[in-house]
């Protein structure tokens, strides 16, 4: 009998197929003692396993390319963390086997994150994956991961580590469903990049039996277990109609009555540019430069290396707009040379612009590299600072840009509620705003963006979050300046219409979402978008806001 479940839809599309479950996690190794004369040998085994896993993660990243490559390289660095390795070796020295030493050392670090209030909980899945891979290698058992299958299937897992998501084969994995995770987790972002329908934060997903036929709607978050023939036909028809609509709409983003809404791409480096160009991106709305720095957490990349990476992206968009976010380090992206190691609450500490102002040489080098990279190019370069809290922050960043001789527009990201509440004050120092809705939701609702248990509060349809977007857009309009959205909210086609109605002047998203947003915007007038925005803000919950906007835009 057909039953319906609902999680959080994070990647558009429909998938219908049989369920396959993720390979079981590595079992806990036995806690047996080894003789003292075997300790050195066991330490050597542990080091070899760590290096082999790190090399495998890097190799997977090289195969995947793009943003996935940066994520997996960061995971490889996690495997090679000197403090973790030292803890493993200490445990082996007092009698643990290599596998037990690895298991216990990672468990201790995991507990440390949990005791810190789980502000770094978004990396717990990554940490567990690294541990499982190392322990599996030491035990000589198969790596946990995607099941082998010759037939296409829908993958169900408790969570998906980046190493697994990055190399999913869309020809075999029709879609995936996870019990945990959130709309802004690494797996969700990579799913959108792959164009694989995905639903996360679905309690009880693991109880769906192997081989059961399910239909997954990555837009609504609905899962239909043992769907009827009528339901399957309905979903397949809707999917075909959606694809036809996507291919029929081309050109710059605009509403049906000609109100222009530039559709830009979020990129992490040159590897993400081809997909952005293929999707018809009108430029880059968020160039995440931190991935360049994560290649080596011990020191900043040289100015020459930065110039080469930046210029490769800038050259791809002649006479287009490229918005570069300067280094956003700290919280879940720590860098040894920049980030304090003993912060009790990293997400609320010295991160983003705060780190750069404490290390002006790092900021100066990056701004100089950007200036050099743009020399002689017709591109419209804009540079923005992350984690701007107030006018003083905005002024400090603008002053640094001017001192570096940067010929570009200077902007501020609105990720902290104070910046939205005082947006007009911030705009006295900078020329544009860009709303990072992922972090803005996290700080507005005190809800870690990576924790599935609080995904309800991470929903960008929350009316309180829409209020903050409206405040920022109104302030920009009053000052005659622009206000874009570069968070994952922009990738939701329906929400893109609401954001347009709130006064947002551009939308930036993963390349795979651009055709969906372009097609949806083209069906509605600006006045309809404005009415939908008003209806959404008048609601009391995210679900009510979504339904209210949908009713307006469908003419109900």
Three-class secondary structure assignment of 522-555: CCCCHHHHHHHHHHHHCCCCHHHHHHHHHHHHCC
Cβ-based neighbours of 78, under 8 Å, separated by 6 or more: 84, 123, 126, 127, 130
Torsion of CA 335, 337, 341, 346, to 10 degrees: -50
Cα(475)–Cα(503) distance, integer angstroms: 10
Task: Give, as one character, the DSSP assignment of residue 170.
Answer: T
Q: Residues with catalytic annotation?
A: 186, 486
What are the residue ranges in the chain where pLDDT is below 50? 116-120
Cβ-based neighbours of 197, under 8 Å, separated by 6 or more: 11, 12, 13, 14, 15, 174, 175, 176, 191, 216, 217, 218
Cα(226)–Cα(213) distance, integer angstroms: 5
Instruction: Return the pLDDT at 181.
Output: 76
Instruction: Return the pLDDT at 296.
Output: 63
Q: Are strands 173-178 and 153-157 parallel, antiparallel or unpaired?
A: parallel
Instruction: Return the pLDDT at 459.
Output: 86
Nearest residue to 399 (alpha-carbon basis) of 367, 362, 355 = 367
Instruction: Return the pLDDT at 119.
Output: 38
**CA 246 remoteness from chain centre:** 24
pLDDT tens string 93-123: 999 999 999 999 988 887 665 554 443 455 6
The answer to whether the pTM exceeds 0.75 is no
Cβ-based neighbours of 252, under 8 Å, separated by 6 or more: 260, 262, 263, 282
Cα(161)–Cα(373) distance, integer angstroms: 35
Instruction: Return the pLDDT at 116.
Output: 46
Instruction: Return the pLDDT at 340.
Output: 75
pLDDT tens string 180-237: 877 766 667 777 777 789 999 898 898 898 889 999 999 889 999 999 999 999 998 8
Instruction: Return the pLDDT at 115.
Output: 52
Cα(237)–Cα(241) distance, integer angstroms: 6
């Amino acid at each position: 009998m057909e039953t319906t479940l609902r999680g959080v839809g994070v990647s558009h599309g429909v998938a219908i197929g049989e369920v396959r479950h993720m390979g079981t996690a590595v079992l806990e190794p036995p806690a047996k003692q080894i003789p003292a004369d075997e300790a050195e040998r066991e330490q050597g085994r542990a080091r070899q396993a760590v290096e082999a896993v790190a090399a495998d993660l890097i190799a997977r990243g090289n195969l995947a390319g793009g943003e996935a490559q940066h994520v997996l390289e960061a995971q490889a660095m996690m495997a090679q963390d000197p403090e973790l390795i030292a803890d493993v070796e200490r445990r082996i020295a007092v009698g643990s086997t290599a596998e037990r030493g690895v298991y216990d050392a990672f468990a201790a670090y995991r507990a440390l994150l949990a005791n810190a209030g789980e502000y770094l909980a978004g990396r717990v899945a990554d940490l567990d994956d690294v541990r499982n891979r190392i322990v599996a290698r030491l035990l000589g058992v198969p790596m946990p991961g995607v099941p082998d299958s010759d037939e296409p299937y829908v993958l169900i897992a408790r969570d998906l580590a980046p190493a697994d998501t990055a190399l999913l084969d869309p020809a075999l994995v029709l879609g995936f469903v996870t019990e945990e995770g959130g709309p802004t987790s690494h797996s969700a972002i990579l799913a959108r990049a792959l164009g694989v329908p995905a639903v996360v934060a679905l309690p009880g997903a693991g109880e769906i039996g192997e081989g059961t036929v399910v239909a997954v709607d990555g837009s609504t978050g609905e899962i239909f277990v043992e769907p009827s023939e009528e339901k399957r036909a309905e979903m397949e028809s809707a999917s075909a109609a959606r694809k036809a609509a996507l291919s029929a709409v081309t050109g710059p983003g605009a509403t049906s009555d000609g109100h222009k809404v530039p559709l830009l791409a979020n990129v992490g480096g040159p590897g993400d540019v081809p997909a952005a160009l293929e999707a018809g991106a009108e430029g880059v709305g968020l160039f995440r430069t931190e991935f360049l720095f994560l290649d080596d957490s011990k020191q900043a990349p040289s100015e020459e290396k930065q110039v080469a990476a930046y210029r490769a992206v800038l050259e791809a968009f002649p006479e287009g707009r490229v918005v570069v976010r300067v280094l956003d380090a700290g919280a879940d992206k720590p860098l040894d040379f920049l980030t304090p190691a003993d912060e009790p609450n990293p997400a609320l500490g010295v991160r983003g612009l705060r780190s750069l102002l404490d290390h002006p040489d790092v900021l100066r080098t990056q701004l100089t590299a950007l200036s050099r990279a743009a020399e002689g190019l017709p591109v419209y370069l804009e540079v923005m600072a992350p984690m701007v809290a107030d006018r003083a922050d905005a002024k400090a960043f603008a002053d640094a840009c001017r001192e570096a001789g940067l010929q570009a527009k200077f902007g501020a990201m609105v990720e902290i509620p104070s910046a939205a509440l005082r947006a007009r004050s911030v705009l006295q120092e900078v020329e544009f705003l860009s709303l990072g809705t992922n972090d803005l939701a996290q700080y507005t609702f005190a809800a870690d963006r990576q924790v599935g248990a609080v995904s309800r509060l991470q929903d960008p349809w929350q009316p309180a979050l829409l209020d903050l977007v409206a405040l920022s857009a109104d302030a920009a309009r009053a000052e005659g300046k622009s206000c874009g959205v570069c968070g994952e909210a922009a990738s939701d086609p329906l929400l893109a219409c609401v954001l347009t109605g709130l006064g947002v002047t551009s939308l930036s998203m993963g390349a795979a979402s651009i055709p969906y947003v372009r097609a949806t915007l083209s069906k509605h007038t600006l006045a309809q978008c404005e009415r939908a925005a008003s209806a959404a803000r008048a609601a009391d919950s995210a679900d009510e806001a979504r339904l209210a906007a949908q009713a307006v835009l469908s003419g109900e």
